[in-house]
């Protein structure tokens, strides 16, 4: 549906016989206020649903029940907005709940009885991720929570994750949106290596490590893995960073930490249930495969989906095999910490404007009065980095401009 909508929106309209100028193409950049509004509306829905799912994350609840409720709410909330308009609306990322050492988004099936019965317990570290899209403009969010009362090692992980994420966002500020950049002394954006090394220092304060190959992508309409990417601590065979954040970009910023080595491995016994279509076009042989693919294209377009979102899980489990083998669909492997240590993941959808970075969808602010540790960041350079505002205060750019003009006149 998303792809069909995109094609219809970008195709030139048929002009009446009396009209001479060609119809102007739709602007899908942040310069179009309507586009920014759709990103924000999708983000508000994602926030509300995430808060609802977090409240359900209690001792005794199942991972499956949280995922099911999250998807139900995403569907309901997206259908309440832009009524009567012929645009795609729905889930940009299905609800996933990854406990403890499981690092990547995880969403079990009701037909896999063992995984469907996984119960949440007090002390579990849960990474909850989900997303909504309006007219193909996605907002994805992920937060890490601890069920019940946090323990010292959990507190350290939460604090390290919070500060690393805040630092990462500030390190992604481009020169023309950085508050310290002036014509006399322009700011030089750091390389991905410098960003990685800075985050490693922060994580080490709390005895945590950065997870290898954590990747952030630029977003676009109907696309959550754009051409530009930032790869932290790239592992062997992993594509390196490409491009850099710029004013006008929307990014999905991912950060993952571990209390172990930060190296990952496939989690045994966990079926990959999260998939996404590729650009490969191929005539599939099996009827179940064709049925599965047609449903995917109709419901999800280019956005990720969980097998349990399809009409018949059992048919989907059969049909998905040929789709993946033929590379028509890509599966997301279930990865966890190599040492079995607890992990964290945050995902923030940001918009970069000349005023700085706007968090469209992001984790809730950490409660620094409740989440405490004897370990503290003391590096002055890092503390200065964390103190940088993500956005200019209203009117600040005008004052700065007036000050610059006055200086030139003198």
- Please report, in tens digits, the pLDDT of each residue of the chain (410 residues total): 444 333 333 333 333 344 444 567 889 999 999 999 999 999 999 999 999 999 999 999 999 999 999 999 999 999 999 998 899 999 999 999 999 999 999 999 999 999 999 999 999 999 999 999 999 999 999 999 999 988 899 999 999 999 999 999 999 999 999 998 888 899 999 999 999 999 999 999 999 999 999 999 999 999 999 999 999 999 888 899 999 999 999 999 999 999 999 999 999 989 999 999 999 998 899 999 999 999 999 999 999 999 999 999 999 999 999 999 999 999 999 999 999 999 999 999 999 999 999 999 999 999 999 999 999 999 999 999 999 999 986 655 544 444 443 444 44
User: Secondary structure of the chain: what % helix, strand, coil (to 5)?
Assistant: 35, 20, 45
* pLDDT for position 23: 60
Contact 155, 102 (CB under 8 A): no
Sequence-separated (6 or more) residues with CB below 8 Å from residue 389 = 179, 356
Does this model's pTM top 0.85? My answer is yes
Contact 326, 320 (CB under 8 A): no
Three-state DSSP class for residue 142: strand
Closest CA to 92 of 49, 152, 28: 49
């Amino acid at each position: 549906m998303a792809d069909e909508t995109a094609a219809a929106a970008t195709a030139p309209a048929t002009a009446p016989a009396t009209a001479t100028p060609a119809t102007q193409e739709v602007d899908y950049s942040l310069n179009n206020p309507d586009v920014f509004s759709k990103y924000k509306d999708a983000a508000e829905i994602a926030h509300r649903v995430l808060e609802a799912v977090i409240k359900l994350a209690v001792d005794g609840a199942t991972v499956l029940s949280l995922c099911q409720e999250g998807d139900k709410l995403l569907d309901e909330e997206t259908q309440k907005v832009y009524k009567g308009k012929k645009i795609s609306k729905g889930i940009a990322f299905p609800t996933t709940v990854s406990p403890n050492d499981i690092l990547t988004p995880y969403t079990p099936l009701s037909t896999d009885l063992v995984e469907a019965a996984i119960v949440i317990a007090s002390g579990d570290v849960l990474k909850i991720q989900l997303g909504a899209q309006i007219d193909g403009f996605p907002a994805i969010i992920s937060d890490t929570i601890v069920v019940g009362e946090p323990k010292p090692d959990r507190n350290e992980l939460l604090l390290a994750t919070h500060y690393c994420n805040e630092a990462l966002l500030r390190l992604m500020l481009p020169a023309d949106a950085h508050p310290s950049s002036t014509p006399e002394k322009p700011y030089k954006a750091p390389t991905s290596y410098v960003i990685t090394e800075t985050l490693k220092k922060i994580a080490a304060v709390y005895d945590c490590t950065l997870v290898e190959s954590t990747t952030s992508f630029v977003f676009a309409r109907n696309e959550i893995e754009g051409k530009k990417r930032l790869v932290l601590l790239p592992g062997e065979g992993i594509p390196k960073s490409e491009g850099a954040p710029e004013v006008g970009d929307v990014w999905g910023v991912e950060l993952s930490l571990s209390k172990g080595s930060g190296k990952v491995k496939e989690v045994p016994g966990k079926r990959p249930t999260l998939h996404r279509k590729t650009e490969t076009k191929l005539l599939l042989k099996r009827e179940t495969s064709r049925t599965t693919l047609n449903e995917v294209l109709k419901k999800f377009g280019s956005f990720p989906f969980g097998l349990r979102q399809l009409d018949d899980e059992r048919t989907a489990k059969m049909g998905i095999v040929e789709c993946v083998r033929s590379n028509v669909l890509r599966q997301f492997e279930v990865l966890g910490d190599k040492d079995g240590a607890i992990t964290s993941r945050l995902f923030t959808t940001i918009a970069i404007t000349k005023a700085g970075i706007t968090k469209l969808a992001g984790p809730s602010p950490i409660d620094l009065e409740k989440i405490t540790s004897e370990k503290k960041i003391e590096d002055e350079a890092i503390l200065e980095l964390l103190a940088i505002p993500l956005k200019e205060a209203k009117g600040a750019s005008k004052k700065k401009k007036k000050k610059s003009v006055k200086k030139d006149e003198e």
